[in-house]
């Protein structure tokens, strides 16, 4: 029996159309718009001004405070302006506009193809390097990695968990990365182990990627302490708490962090970025993005510079199909629909899905028949039907007692609901209200 997390979860059609398509480099765009907040935490502060000539990999924004991240230029050229841009979520935020001229990298970046396995930096220096290089979690949450690597005194990390699950349908960027850059990823994992001072790392990969499991297991045999674990295909296995449960059997208590059960989770994409930062001195300014969709003529996996307009990336994949009704940034279960294709590619963008019109419209909501399928599907054992009703009727205190804030918004409830009820929409509303209420209560 393959391991998985014990309760809840759904299995949407996988649709991994691009699993066999090798990663391709997208040409350097003529101009980029690099948002200064591509991570969770405080936005970076710009350190360049209009007219400055900057090189690829140069810092253009420095992190403000501990929970923040540096931002680097992804092209060389002149700063056109520093102005607002609508990010993929529709929010306005500060960004650096750069017109590209050539592609002149900083001299400090090692651009050779050779794989460097010896790690010369100490644990502390590794964390510092991650901070300098603007490394954030590339699984989608974009939490600054140096924060996750700095284990507070009194806590101990016993095992590093590497997320190669890629449980979202359609996305294959992590899958391709493991196949093509497997060794680099493993060196990255070793670096992370050194930073965390652990001797054991577990890589979880879902069983729908047998080639990646085989490849990574074979490579891992020459690395000490790293093991590869095939997992049963089930969404949302890539969620931190579910992955820890599946691999170690430990359950992260509600409201606590993985470190409270001695685990730290990083994504394979992050491990690769850490490798590049530590071994090659290359900051994070490009990443693998899957561009896909049933009607996309040239779906693929592309290495894209941050700040590239989405439209250029989609053009490389053959343009927007005629019947497109929705464009998703991320996976279909947790991704965000974008309102236009001018938004820039950012560090957290793992995929772009072009959804045909028919599938882009929701079915009409019907009355709840109390079938309990949402309760069955919830990986956190909440009662989505009840949380929705409580939020709908503004009974937020009761929703709090029913632990609405535990919800991680995986969408399994809405996915499974036969009456097509907007469960998660209402739960989000209730959750944010409850969080706000709790904050106000704490201020008193």
Partner 1 sequence: MSNLLNVSPSPHVHGKESTQKLMLNVVIALIPAFITSVFYFGIGAIIVTATSVASCLIFEYLIQRFVFRKPLSITDGSALVTGILLAFNLPSNIPVFIVIIGSFISIAVAKMTFGGLGNNPFNPALVGRVFMLISFPVQMTTWPVPKGFGTGYTDAVTGATPLAIVKEGLKNGEPLSKLMEMIPTPSQMFLGDMGGSMGEVAAIALLIGFIYLLYKKVITWHIPVAVVASMAVFTGILWFVNPEKNADPMFHILAGGVLLGAIFMATDYVTSPMVPKSMLIYGCGIGIITVIIRVYGAYPEGVSFAILIMNAFVPLMNAYIKPKRFGEEVKNG
Query: Which DSSP letter does residue 252 get?
Result: P
Contact 292/352 with Cβ under 8 angstroms? yes
Give the x-and-dash track for 148-177 against partner 1 (CB under 8 A). Answer: ---------------------x--------
C-beta of 104 vs 383, nearer to partner 1: 383
Piece of 135-143, 265-273, 286-294, 322-330 that binds partner 1 (CB under 8 A): 322-330
Q: Which residues of 241-266 are buried (b: 16+ CB within 10 A; e: fewer)?
A: bbbbbbbbebebeeeeebbebebbbb
C-beta of 35 vs 330, nearer to partner 1: 330
Piece of 49-57, 67-75, 115-123, 411-419 that binds partner 1 (CB under 8 A): 411-419
Beta-carbon contacts of 249 under 8 Å, excluding residues fewer than 6 positions away, are none
C-beta of 191 vs 263, nearer to partner 1: 263
| Site for partner 1 contains 293 (CB under 8 A) | no
**Do β-strands 324-329 and 336-338 pair in parallel, antiparallel, or remain unpaired?**
antiparallel
Strand partners for 324 = 356
In the region spanning residues 200 to 259, those forming contacts with partner 1, defined by CB under 8 A, are 241, 245, 250-256
Rule CB under 8 A: choose which of 45, 321, 395, 405 binds partner 1.
Answer: 321
| Site for partner 1 contains 338 (CB under 8 A) | yes
3-state helix, strand, coil in the chain (%, to 5): 30, 20, 50
Piece of 9-17, 146-154, 171-179, 219-227 that binds partner 1 (CB under 8 A): 9-17
| Site for partner 1 contains 371 (CB under 8 A) | yes
C-beta of 102 vs 418, nearer to partner 1: 418
Taking the complex as a whole, the smallest distance from the CB of residue 17 to partner 1 amounts, in Å, to 14
Taking the complex as a whole, the smallest distance from the CB of residue 224 to partner 1 amounts, in Å, to 26
Torsion angles phi and psi, residue 144, rounded to 5: -55, 125
CA distance 306 to 174: 17
Task: Using alpha carbons only, give the angle 389, 393, 395 rounded to the nearest 5 degrees.
Answer: 90
**Residue 125's closest CA among 274, 342, 247?**
274
In the region spanning residues 92 to 111, those forming contacts with partner 1, defined by CB under 8 A, are none
Piece of 20-28, 39-47, 94-102, 317-325 that binds partner 1 (CB under 8 A): 317-325
């Amino acid at each position: 029996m393959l391991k998985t997390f014990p309760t809840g979860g759904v299995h949407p059609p996988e649709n991994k159309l691009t699993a066999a398509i090798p990663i391709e480099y997208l040409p350097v765009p003529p101009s980029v718009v690099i948002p200064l907040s591509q991570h969770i935490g405080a936005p970076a502060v710009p350190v360049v001004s209009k007219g400055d000539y900057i090189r690829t990999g140069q810092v253009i924004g420095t992190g403000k405070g501990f929970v923040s991240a540096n931002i680097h230029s992804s092209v060389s050229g002149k700063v056109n302006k520093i102005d607002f841009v609508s990010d993929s979520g529709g929010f306005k935020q500060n960004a650096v506009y750069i017109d590209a001229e050539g592609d002149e990298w900083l001299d400090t970046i090692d651009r050779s193809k050779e794989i460097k396995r010896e790690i010369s930096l100490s644990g502390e220096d590794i964390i510092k390097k991650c901070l300098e290089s603007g490394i954030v979690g590339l699984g989608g949450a974009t939490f600054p990695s140096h924060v996750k690597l700095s284990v507070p005194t009194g806590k101990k990390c016993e095992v590093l968990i590497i997320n190669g699950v890629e449980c979202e349908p359609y996305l294959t960027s992590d899958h391709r990365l493991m196949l093509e850059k497997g060794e680099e990823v493993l060196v990255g994992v070793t670096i992370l182990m050194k930073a965390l001072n652990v001797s054991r790392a577990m890589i979880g990969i879902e069983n729908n990627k047998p080639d990646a499991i085989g490849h990574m297991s074979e490579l891992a045999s020459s690395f000490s302490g790293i093991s590869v674990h095939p997992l049963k295909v089930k969404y949302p296995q890539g969620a931190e708490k579910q992955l820890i449960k599946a691999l170690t059997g430990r359950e992260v208590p509600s409201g606590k962090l993985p470190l409270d059960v001695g685990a730290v989770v990083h994504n394979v994409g992050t491990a690769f970025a850490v490798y590049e930062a530590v071994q090659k001195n290359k900051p994070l300014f490009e990443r693998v993005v899957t561009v896909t969709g049933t009607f996309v003529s040239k779906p693929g996996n592309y290495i894209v510079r941050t700040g590239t307009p989405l439209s250029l990336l989609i053009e490389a994949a053959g343009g927007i199909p005629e019947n497109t009704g929705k464009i998703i940034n991320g996976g279909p279960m947790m991704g965000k629909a974008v309102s236009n294709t001018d938004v820039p590619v950012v560090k957290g963008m793992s995929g772009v899905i072009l959804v045909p019109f028919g599938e882009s419209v929701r079915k009409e909501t019907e009355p709840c028949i109390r079938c309990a399928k949402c309760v069955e599907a919830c990986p956190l054992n909440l009662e989505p039907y009840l949380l929705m009703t409580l939020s709908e009727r503004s009974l937020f205190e009761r929703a709090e007692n029913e632990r609405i804030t535990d919800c991680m918004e995986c969408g399994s409830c809405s996915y499974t609901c036969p009456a097509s009820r907007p469960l998660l929409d209402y739960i989000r509303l209730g959750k944010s209200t409850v969080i706000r209420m709790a904050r106000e209560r704490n201020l008193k």
